[in-house]
Amino acid sequence: MGLSEAIEEYRYHLTMVEHKSERTIDSYLRDLSHYAAYLDQLDIHAVEDITEGNVQDFLLELREDYKAATVNRYLSSLRSFHRFLSQERPRLLDPTRFIKGTKKQAHLPRFLNEKEIQRLLASFGGSDADVFHKAILEVLYGCGLRVSECCELRLQQLHLKQGLVRVIGKGSKERMVPLHEEGIQALLQYLQYVRPQWEQTRSPYVFINHLGHPLTRQYVHQMIKRTLQSLGMSTAYSAHSFRHSFATHLLDGGADLRVVQELLGHSDIQTTQIYTHVQGRRLRQAYDAFHPLAKEEQS
């Protein structure tokens, strides 16, 4: 069943069966419209294809920009929508059934480990498309950008001689983020040899496709999925996973949480603190695996 068709069916149910107020219906539909736009970026258009992980990732992205109360409101809208669908179609599983509000349970973000990142970046060849794709991923991972920030990056924001990128984030807040040498070289290769061939008219954007059009979020998500599939890696990772990997690897390397907060452009330190949960889980796993007394308990 198509997602847009399902939302329309739900709208009819709210109006004609539950007799909800116009204001309430508009609120539900706004949340679902945002949700549908997110899923469209992942090339998910049927309700049968939506997984619990997709819902969790959507809520995690919301947490970067909204307070817990707003995220919980979104979850309430999604839960009501999917519960309705599963009641109407018993074979259709509800992907929200085990998800709790953000205050009760912090969802740990999906991230790639360092070997997976290296394998992914090493997989690109020398074709124009490969150079283009590698440059995108180097910037996403090397700077920890949101997908929208990467797509909207302009040439005047690059300060590659200084190894810096000026990022314009949510609410037009600016931050300066370093880019490592490999990332700079990948970006220069794209800018010098690929981009000039593709630019039809003068464009201010760093990333343009072969028609000269600005990069889109949907293109990035689809490119990552195709690349992961070609390598036999999990396609559960998304473009946002590179931002999570950036933060996790910095903290694993000893970076201060406040520094990571600034690099990610989080206005609230509590948003950044989710990565300390990732660290805690990894430390526990390492402890259980290698501490002699812990290993005795497991035997």
The pLDDT value recorded for residue 105 is 45
Average pLDDT, the chain: 89
Residue 100 neighbours by CB distance under 10 Å: 12
Residues 192 and 253 both lie in one domain: yes
Residue 102 lies in a domain: no
Residues 53 and 177 both lie in one domain: no
Instruction: Indicate which residues carry an active-site annotation.
Output: 146, 170, 240, 243, 266, 275
Residue 180 lies in a domain: yes
- Is 57 in contact with 238 (CB distance < 8 Å)? yes
Residue 129 lies in a domain: yes
Residue 239 lies in a domain: yes
Domain of 47, CATH number, reads 1.10.150.130
**φ, ψ (nearest 5 deg) of residue 166:** -90, 115
Q: What is the pTM of this model?
A: 0.71
**Residue 135 CA from chain centroid, whole number:** 17
The percent of residues in the chain predicted with pLDDT above 90, rounded, is 65
What string of DSSP letters covers 98-136?
A: T---TTT--PPPP---HHHHHHHHHT--SSHHHHHHHHH
- Three-state secondary-structure class, residue 158: strand
Structure-token match 């609410």, residue found: 171
Residue 22 lies in a domain: yes
pLDDT, tens digit, 9 for 90 and up, residues 51-102 = 998 998 898 888 877 878 888 999 999 999 999 999 999 889 999 998 887 6
Residues 206 and 147 both lie in one domain: yes
Residues 124 and 58 both lie in one domain: no
Residues 154 and 212 both lie in one domain: yes
Q: What pLDDT band is residue 104 in, cutting at 50, 70 and 90?
A: very low
The pLDDT value recorded for residue 45 is 92
**φ, ψ (nearest 5 deg) of residue 212:** 90, 5
Residue 278 lies in a domain: yes
The pLDDT value recorded for residue 122 is 96
- Three-state secondary-structure class, residue 215: coil
Residues 263 and 220 both lie in one domain: yes
pLDDT, tens digit, 9 for 90 and up, residues 262-284 = 999 988 887 788 777 666 666 66
**φ, ψ (nearest 5 deg) of residue 223:** -60, -45
Domain of 239, CATH number, reads 1.10.443.10
As given in the structure block, the two tokens for residue 234 are 């999990």
Residues 142 and 252 both lie in one domain: yes
pLDDT, tens digit, 9 for 90 and up, residues 155-204 = 999 999 999 999 998 778 899 999 999 999 999 999 999 999 999 889 99
Taking the C-alpha atoms of residue 94 and residue 172, their distance in angstroms, rounded to an integer, is 37
Taking the C-alpha atoms of residue 230 and residue 97, their distance in angstroms, rounded to an integer, is 32
Residues 278 and 203 both lie in one domain: yes
Mean pLDDT of 204-229: 93
Taking the C-alpha atoms of residue 108 and residue 181, their distance in angstroms, rounded to an integer, is 30
Taking the C-alpha atoms of residue 13 and residue 262, their distance in angstroms, rounded to an integer, is 45
- Is 93 in contact with 155 (CB distance < 8 Å)? no
Residues 141 and 63 both lie in one domain: no
Residues 163 and 245 both lie in one domain: yes
Residue 248 lies in a domain: yes
Question: Across-strand partners of 214?
Answer: 208
**φ, ψ (nearest 5 deg) of residue 159:** -130, 70
Residues 140 and 255 both lie in one domain: yes
- Angle, helix 3-12 to helix 68-88, in steps of 10 degrees: 90
Quote the Cα angle for 259-262-266, to 5°. 130
Name which residue leads in pLDDT, 69 or 208. 208
Expressed in percent and rounded to 5, the helix, strand and coil fractions of the chain are 65, 5, 30
Residue 108 lies in a domain: no
Identify the domain containing residue 77 by its residue range.
Answer: 3-88
Domains identified in the chain, total number:
2
Residues 39 and 119 both lie in one domain: no
